Amino acid sequence: MEKWKSTILQSKLFQDFHENELESFITKAHGNLESFQKGQIVANEETPCTHIGIVISGIIDVQKTYPSGKFITINHLEKGEMFGEVIVFSNRKTFPATLIAQSKSQVYFLKKEELMQLNQTYPLLMENFMKVLSQKILILNQRVKSLSYHTLRQRIIDYLLEIYKKQNAMMFQLPVSRKQMADRLGTTRPSLSRELAKMKDEGLIDYEKNGFKILDLERLEAVLFE
């Protein structure tokens, strides 16, 4: 099996598919594999969304641009992750943000119509699709909750506790870079670094590079209710 097909097989949309099933699907779906150079636009904000994209290699940034020219990075899509799956089945039908290749990348595009036609042939596809949508809703709810906190410290703590709960460990590695963490929390990297340093000085956490340790769980949780 070609390498790019192996990546698709590892994506959540094709979870539990056998190799021969995927080969059959790809043949029938008439998808399109496209390459993008670093900095190249994958999709512009407000342009029609007619396909679902699966990142085969590289990283795709999801950016929201404002009239002033400033932008924030909402998300980073890595190998095996999807985009467009919510929009193509909504009434909006246009991208709410710009997608840009952070590095040399490949994306496999599938038409909405092809997915609809092949649902009956591959019932597992619809089951996986619903799982992906459900997970996105949960993540969105988490983001909304995080942004509802008034202070940056509260948003940082909420994010760190989210990782702590997932890994069930007081010591853990951040799954993203410091820049990506800042983007997710709606702040700048310098502001994030300053607040983390204060929390370290106050004995709430300890960290070195991307390795973090929760020192006082009770005090951290108390900050969320201030």
Say which CATH number the domain at 165 has: 1.10.10.10
DSSP-derived letter for residue 13 is G
Question: Residues 26-54: what's their mean pLDDT?
Answer: 94
pLDDT > 80? residue 226: no
Q: Is 100 in the same domain as 198?
A: no
Phi, psi of 218 (to 5 degrees): -65, -45
More confident residue, 36 or 139: 36
More confident residue, 169 or 67: 169
Residue 140 lies in a domain: no
pLDDT > 90? residue 142: no
Q: Per-residue confidence at 146, pLDDT binned at 50, 70, 90?
A: low
Q: Is 117 in the same domain as 34?
A: yes
Domain holding 13, by residue range, is 3-132
pLDDT > 70? residue 147: no
Token pair, residue 14, equals 């094709």
Token pair, residue 73, equals 């990075």
Q: Is 128 in the same domain as 160?
A: no
Give the tens place of pLDDT for each residue, 162-172: 899 888 999 99
Total structural domains in the chain?
A: 2
Out of 49-58, 74-83, 96-105, which region has the weakest mean confidence (pLDDT)?
A: 74-83
Q: In angstroms, rounded to a whole number, what is the distance separating the alpha carbons of residues 208 and 226?
A: 27
Contact assessment for residue 179 and residue 75, using Cβ atoms and an 8 Å cutoff:
no
Question: Residues 176-192: what's their mean pLDDT?
Answer: 88
Q: Is 29 in the same domain as 107?
A: yes
Instruction: Locate the DSSP E strands across the chain.
Output: 32-36, 41-43, 51-57, 60-65, 71-77, 82-83, 98-101, 105-111, 171-173, 205-208, 211-214
Return the pLDDT at 107: 97
Average pLDDT, the chain: 89
Cα first-last separation, the chain: 55
Q: Is 11 in the same domain as 123?
A: yes
pLDDT > 70? residue 185: yes
One-letter identity of residue 55 = V
